[in-house]
Structure 1
Amino acid sequence: MQAIEVDRFGDPDVLVMRTVPEPQPAQGQVLIDVHAAAVVYGDVIVRSGRRPTPTPLPWIPGIEVGGVVVAAGPGVDRSLVGRAVVATTAGQQGGYAELAVAPAASTFPVPDGLALEVALTVFQAGALARGMLAAMGLRADDTVLVTAAAGWIGSMLVQAAKAAGATVIGVASTGKSGAVKEFGADHVLDYGDGWADRVRELTGGRGVSLALDAVGGEIGAAAVAALADGRGRIGVYGFASGAWTPVDVATIVRRGLVLASPLGTVLRKPDAELRVDGEEALAAAARGELTPRIHARFPLVRAADAHRELESRSSVGAIVLTR
């Protein structure tokens, strides 16, 4: 079969189409004819060699896929064969390919009437967004700040927080404000100088009660500055800038803030709870409560271009590889 394989870490050019052996489903796994694969930032981090523990090479990227189950390994309900599904791949790799294996427990039938690409771009991102907000104790009276609000998970955070009744302030790069507004944000700011001060103005000087940050660096620091003293809490779940949000413990203590890792909390939930999160995200999408935006589609052979697009920071929503 054809797959995108990496034999050395580096820039997007290391993503090369090659002929590789077809995978076979083991105990508890299914084999999926991949119609679409999501391009996520985790793929970029591994490909560039920035993962703290290097991934063994050669490596086929691809954590999330959508397609049709063509075979089932021992111990798997054979009614899945022939079903349109979305899934998290075995070992969180192997999805940039014509065929991929996935644990049956991480494979979700696509609800009737829901497009495969919509299911693909919501079953994990939507589940993570909803789970992180729950982990941070989201309340209807919260004012929520979301950085990278035009991004894939950021857009889900905006929608999920609004669905819960919160007031949402989205921050994104210049030119993306219209999209963030479409996602439901009450206020949209760009990363210009002094945006944290603008957050203070929008909240009557108090600051926000909850912030979710995936950028880190100076933007993460500004999100901390925008928190309300005595009740502000921030969930850090990424470092797209290349650096984690700088944290001064003395400042956190003095201001009475809460710093948490909601993504780590969600990912360490029992498998059964993670499955429920995915099912609920798909159900929310089927009801129209979560509407992912697909920024671009690239054929599998152009995986390198898809990575360049994601790293350019110009994307609004998800990027998908198709066959």
Structure 2
Amino acid sequence: MRAVWLTAFGGPEVLVAGEAPDPEAGPGQALVEVAYANITFVETQYRRTGQGPFSVRPPVIPGNGVGGVVTRVGPGADPGLVGRRVVTATGGQGGYAERAAVDAAGVVVVPDGVPLDTAVALMADGRTALLNLRTVGAVAGQRVLVLAAAGGVGTLLVQLAKAAGAVVVGAAGGRDKGEVVRDLGADEVVDYRTADWPAKVGPVDVVFDGVGGDTARAAFDLITPGGRMLSYGLASGEWAGIGPERAAEREVTLVQGSRPTPDRLRELVSTVLHQAAEGALRPVIGQRFPLAKASDAHAAIESRATVGKTLLEVR
């Protein structure tokens, strides 16, 4: 089968298209004919440094999420999955390929009416966005600032927070990205690449930080006493680095959620997929790359020029 190999840690060029043996569905596993592979910013960091949540080492087929059709199941797996459209995590490897053998207990069946590309775009980013919103608590009637609002998670946070009754301020880099955020329902949009962007935002109650660095620190200064900040990403290359003492001085809670269990992750994915089926949530798929161009997809994400979700089209 066609696949993309992580040959070493380094720049995007270490992702090399090639061939690999077809996987088999072992005990408790399902074999998925992959249509789309998910890419996250975390995967680009892992590719470059080897640091992250994955324990695999090169040479390996990377990729932690796929969507496709189950063609076979192994002993002990539910035979009713055969022929079903599913999305699933892969355990950190095997996603950038035409077929993937995955834990059958971890797959989520895609509801009728939800295209597979939509489902894959929602799988990781959707569960992250929904978990973030649940973690900070009720936001109805509050001013919520979403940093990196035009990103995969940010575009979904804008929609979820708005649906929860918040006044949403979306911070994105550039006019084009800002228009995407506005179209998703943000009440206000600001370009955080401009020096005076904090003054244009004013006081907020909640910050969702997917950027880190100076941008996140500036956003922290906008939070009113009693407000909350949740940092989940570091697109800038560094975390916000705000200490608990400084947060206590300003009466701001730095929200940190617990690591979700596999069952909770599946529930989060299932919830966002059903919201998509009802028309209440839609991902922005800004870029699609063929499987063999995975290196180009990684380079695009790292350049911060992408909008919304980036997918690999496998079939």
TM-score interval w.r.t. the shorter chain? Answer: over 0.9
TM-score by length of 1: 0.92
Q: Do 2:56 and 2:93's aligned partners in 1 also have CA atoms closer than 8 Å?
A: no
Task: Give, as a single letter, the amino acid of the residue that structure 2 aligns with 1:248.
Answer: G
- C-alpha distance in structure 2 between counterparts of 1:106 and 1:167, whole Å: 35
2:249 maps to 1:249: no
2:218 maps to 1:222: yes
Instruction: Please name the residue that 2:16 is paired with.
Output: 16
SS in 1 for 2:77: coil
How far residue 269 of structure 1 moved from its aligned partner, in angstroms, is: 2.5
Instruction: Please name the residue that 1:203 is paired with.
Output: none
TM-score by length of 2: 0.95
Q: Do 2:56 and 2:92's aligned partners in 1 also have CA atoms closer than 8 Å?
A: no
When the two chains are superposed, the root-mean-square deviation of aligned CA atoms in Å is 1.5
- How many equivalent pairs are there? 311
2:313 maps to 1:317: no
C-alpha distance after superposition, 1:254-273 (max 9, x if no partner): 111101234xx2xx223222
SS in 2 for 1:211: strand
Change (3 A) 1:50 1:224: farther
How far residue 69 of structure 1 moved from its aligned partner, in angstroms, is: 0.6
2:2 maps to 1:7: no
How far residue 50 of structure 1 moved from its aligned partner, in angstroms, is: 5.1
Deviates most, 279-288 or 19-28: 19-28
How far residue 52 of structure 1 moved from its aligned partner, in angstroms, is: 5.2
Percent identity reads 41
C-alpha distance after superposition, 1:65-110 (max 9, x if no partner): 1111111122211111111111111x22211001112222321111
SS in 1 for 2:226: coil
Instruction: Please name the residue that 2:106 is paired with.
Output: 106
Instruction: Please name the residue that 1:308 is paired with.
Output: 299
Task: Give, as a single letter, the amino acid of the residue that structure 1 aligns with 2:290.
Answer: P
Instruction: Please name the residue that 2:180 is paired with.
Output: 179
Instruction: Please name the residue that 1:197 is paired with.
Output: 199
Q: Do 1:46 and 1:55's aligned partners in 2 also have CA atoms closer than 8 Å?
A: no
Q: Do 1:4 and 1:303's aligned partners in 2 also have CA atoms closer than 8 Å?
A: yes
Deviates most, 286-295 or 42-51: 42-51
Deviates most, 211-220 or 130-139: 130-139
SS in 1 for 2:271: helix
Flag structure 1 segments of 5+ consecutive residues without an equivalent. Answer: 201-206
- C-alpha distance in structure 2 between counterparts of 1:180 and 1:123, whole Å: 20
Q: Do 1:237 and 1:261's aligned partners in 2 also have CA atoms closer than 8 Å?
A: no
Q: Do 1:5 and 1:58's aligned partners in 2 also have CA atoms closer than 8 Å?
A: yes
